[in-house]
Amino acid sequence: MTDQWAEKLRCSSCANIGIVTLSQGDGDRMPTVLYRPNGFGIVQTEYGPDFLCETCNVPAEPEVA
């Protein structure tokens, strides 16, 4: 079974916002990004994807959408 969810991303510096969509299967170690909104970049870490505002180059703050 595969779980899918969305998270609202927000830049604390410029207030850029967007919705990212992720999924994770039962056997997967970390989530996969299905959709990345414009204005945000992905940084793959050992714990899963993190997101950065491309304008400010600061980490985006996720909130469950």
Please report the pLDDT score of residue 15 as a whole number: 85
- Going from the C-alpha of 26 to that of each of 7, 8, 29, 45, the distances in angstroms are 20, 23, 8, 20
Q: Which two tokens stand for residue 5?
A: 């969810």
Please report the pLDDT score of residue 1 as a whole number: 78
pLDDT digits (tens, 9 = 90+) for 7-65: 999 998 998 999 999 999 999 999 999 999 999 999 999 988 999 999 999 999 877 55
Question: Could you tell me the pTM of the whole model?
Answer: 0.83
- For the chain, how many structural domains are there in total? 1
Show the domain range for 44. 2-64
